């Protein structure tokens, strides 16, 4: 009896295992079958067509980025519905629609836009302004306007707002979270090494407040960006500058005069033209298009479908300009899109250099920097490339510190007026966990073959010799940074040092001090690259690290999710998580970083 019990348990376990294994096979086969069916349907379904006299509907969702990096297949499985919209796609659609006789109107709906850098919005506004210049009207509406949403909508001929909405213009701010006291309470000691008094990226981990140098630099930077934001809206809305200032500075008084009605306050202030429900909004669009009827439909095509239609009809030119995107923190090694892997981006540059069809390269940078080692790996590949074909750097919202280091490898650098750049400085940072380990009763002991054998072990105190070594390495890397910029910009190292030291500049200021050649967006960078390569007709390609085939199928199959504004609590948690994630990703082999603690407003 007792001898039969183990056998029964074994047979039961084997049965359960077979059931689990069978279920796994069924699930995998179902996923594969669904993927095959989706692929067949996609191939069999005719592509979208552009109706005559239609409106182009531009409805950016989630974050406005240079290159969409969300992986909906895995985000779906994880319950994450974060969405992104690629700025180049919107620019291409609006530029094409400007000259397309089938498109008679541009409709902007901003409700799903969560975040976007000022320079990205500026590029999109410029494309919309060109659309208007072709004699085609632009209508925009929001249920309520965040500052970024309103900046985009303000370029329209007619701006609508929901009767219960608002248009909140608060100004620009930068308030980092400082972890110095928390780390000290935990007993974590952060050793820092810095070259450049304005290099503030390490301060959140060592201080409880903003340094005087960082406060001064931030005040000047935000002041310049705010001035551009203000001038753009004043010009687009034909407002008196004093009226704009009054709306921002004394909003409470204006709201009180309107009986607490935010929408009426925005209309009375001249910031919106009409208050409309959704039904009234769609009726206004149909009126512009010459349509009759009711409901929420009107003759239109979305920007994504429009791109599919026009790209299918275009003839491909044999000459290519490759646009390589450096988006996110610069990290040593290989990374998927969304982070700049030194090795993976260098590999793409090398492939573009060796591809005979590629006649020029545009490196599109949207990065605050990161690993100095990885930045140099990328810059070196760009320098090798520009010896055989033109390389143009196009700066997006942020191209600072390591981002500028990369740009120095190009023949020419272009930036938007609101681009955040510069931050030419270097820091090193090394954490020490001896005290919190001691509180837990954990000790470290052993032997080494030399004085530096265990020098960079965070479980042990950092020796004075190791600290001095890291400081020497930091200072050397800074001098190397100065030399690279001096050579690229045809300046003397001491001249670069006067505008470096970690100081951050706007794109407009960077042109004045010689760090950037001229102002312009992605279109201007492509034109510059084409001019240098003597190209009249060319195809723009966007090489990226390739995902495995099944993952690409799932990404297309399971794309889903609507953008929604995060709650205040989630904003705090997300910000703290982002800070910790960024810190954990710093993997420079020498612990030396060219990173800018700067966010595009």
Q: Which helix (H) or strand (E) holds 123?
A: helix 118-133
Q: What distance in Å separates the CA atoms of residue 139 and residue 105, rounded to the nearest whole number?
A: 8
Q: How many CA atoms lie within 13 A of 532 on its CB side?
A: 22
The residue assigned the tokens 């400082």 is: 178
Q: Give the C-alpha separation, 416 to 64, whole Å.
A: 16
Q: Which two tokens stand for residue 76?
A: 């779906």
Query: Which DSSP helix (H) or strand (E) runs through 13?
Result: helix 4-44
To which H or E segment does residue 403 belong? helix 402-407
Cα 410 to Cα 407: distance, rounded to the nearest angstrom: 6
* Sequence-separated (6 or more) residues with CB below 8 Å from residue 471: 193, 428
Q: What would the two tokens of residue 199 be?
A: 């290099």
Q: Which helix (H) or strand (E) holds 468?
A: helix 464-489
Phi, psi (degrees; rounded to nearest 5) at 539: -110, 135
**Cα–Cα nearest to 410, from 506, 503, 515:** 515
Among 244, 242, 273, CA closest to 156 = 273
Among residues 287, 300, 367, the alpha carbon closest in space to that of 331 is found at: 367
Look at the alpha carbons of 243, 246, 252, 256 in this order and tell me if their dihedral is positive or negative.
negative
- Phi, psi at residue 381, to the nearest 5°? -65, -35
401 belongs to the catalytic site: yes
- The owner of tokens 């500058």 is 241
Q: Which of 578, 521, 589, 485 is nearest to 91 (CA)?
A: 521
Distance CA 263, CA 248 (A): 15
| Residue ranges in 238-327 assigned as alpha helix (H) | 241-249, 251-257, 262-268, 278-289, 303-313
Q: Distance between CA atoms of 120 and 117, rounded to whole angstroms?
A: 5
CB 92 within 8 A of CB 362: no
Q: Which of 199, 264, 359, 389 is catalytic?
A: 199
Catalytic residue, from 119, 367, 401, 423: name it: 401
Q: Where are the beta strands (DSSP E) in 175-297?
A: 189-195, 274-275
- Give the DSSP H/E element, type plus range, for residue 441: none
Q: Where are the alpha helices (DSSP H) in 490-544?
A: 493-499, 507-513, 522-532
Q: How many CB atoms lie within 10 A of CB 16?
A: 10
Positions marked catalytic = 199, 401
């Amino acid at each position: 009896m007792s001898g039969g019990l183990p056998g029964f348990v074994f047979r039961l376990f084997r049965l359960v295992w077979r059931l689990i294994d069978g279920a796994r096979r069924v699930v995998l086969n179902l996923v594969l079958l669904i993927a095959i069916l989706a692929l067949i349907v996609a191939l069999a379904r005719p592509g979208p067509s552009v109706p005559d006299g239609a409106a182009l509907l531009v409805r950016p969702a989630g974050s406005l980025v240079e290159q969409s990096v969300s992986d909906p297949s895995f985000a779906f499985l994880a319950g994450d519905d974060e969405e992104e919209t690629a700025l180049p796609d919107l620019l291409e659609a609006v530029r094409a629609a400007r000259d397309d006789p089938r498109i008679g109107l541009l409709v902007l709906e901003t409700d799903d836009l969560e975040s976007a850098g000022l320079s990205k919005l500026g590029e999109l506004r410029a494309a919309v302004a060109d659309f208007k210049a072709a004699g085609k009207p632009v209508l925009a509406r929001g249920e309520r306007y965040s500052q970024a949403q309103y900046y985009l909508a303000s370029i329209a001929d007619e701006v609508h707002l929901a009767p219960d909405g608002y248009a909140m213009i608060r100004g620009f701010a930068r308030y980092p979270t400082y972890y110095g006291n928390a780390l000290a309470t935990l007993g974590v000691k952060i050793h820092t090494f810095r070259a450049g008094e304005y290099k503030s990226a390490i301060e959140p981990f060592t201080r409880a407040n903003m340094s005087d140098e960082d406060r001064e630099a931030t005040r000047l930077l935000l002041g310049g960006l705010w001035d551009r934001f203000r001038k753009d809206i004043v010009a687009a809305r034909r407002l008196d500058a004093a009226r704009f200032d009054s709306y921002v500075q004394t909003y409470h008084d204006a709201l009180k005069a309107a009986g607490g009605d935010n929408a009426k306050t925005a209309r009375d202030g001249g910031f919106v033209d009409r208050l409309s429900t959704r039904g009234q909004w769609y009726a206004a669009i149909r009126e512009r298009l010459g349509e009759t009827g009711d409901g929420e439909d009107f003759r239109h095509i979305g920007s994504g479908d429009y791109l599919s239609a026009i790209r299918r009809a275009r003839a491909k030119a044999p000459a290519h300009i490759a646009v390589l995107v450096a988006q996110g923190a610069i990290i040593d090694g290989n990374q998927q899109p969304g982070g700049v892997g030194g090795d993976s981006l260098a590999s793409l540059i090398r492939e573009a250099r060796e591809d005979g069809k590629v006649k020029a390269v545009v490196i599109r940078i949207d990065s605050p920097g990161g690993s100095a080692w990885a930045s140099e790996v990328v810059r070196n590949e760009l320098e090798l490339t520009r010896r055989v074909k033109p390389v143009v750097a196009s700066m997006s919202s942020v191209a600072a510190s390591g981002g500028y280091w990369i740009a120095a490898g190009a023949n020419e650098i272009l930036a938007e007026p609101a681009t955040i750049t510069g931050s030419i400085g270097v820091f090193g940072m090394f954490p020490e966990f001896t005290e919190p380990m001691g509180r837990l009763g954990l000790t470290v002991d052993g032997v080494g073959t030399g004085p530096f054998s265990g020098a960079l072990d965070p479980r042990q105190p950092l020796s004075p010799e190791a600290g001095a070594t890291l400081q020497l390495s930091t200072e050397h890397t800074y001098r190397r940074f100065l030399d690279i910029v001096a050579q690229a910009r045809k300046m003397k190292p001491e001249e670069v040092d006067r505008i470096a030291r970690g100081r951050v500049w706007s794109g407009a200021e960077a042109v004045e001090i010689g760090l950037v050649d001229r102002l312009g967006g992605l279109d201007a960078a492509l034109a510059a690259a084409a001019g240098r390569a003597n190209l009249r007709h060319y195809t723009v390609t966007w090489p990226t690290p390739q995902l495995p085939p099944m993952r690409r199928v799932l990404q297309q199959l399971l794309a889903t999710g609507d953008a929604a504004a995060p709650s205040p609590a989630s904003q705090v948690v997300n910000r703290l998580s982002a800070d910790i994630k960024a810190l954990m990703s710093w993997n420079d082999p020498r612990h030396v970083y060219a990173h800018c603690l700067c966010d595009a407003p």
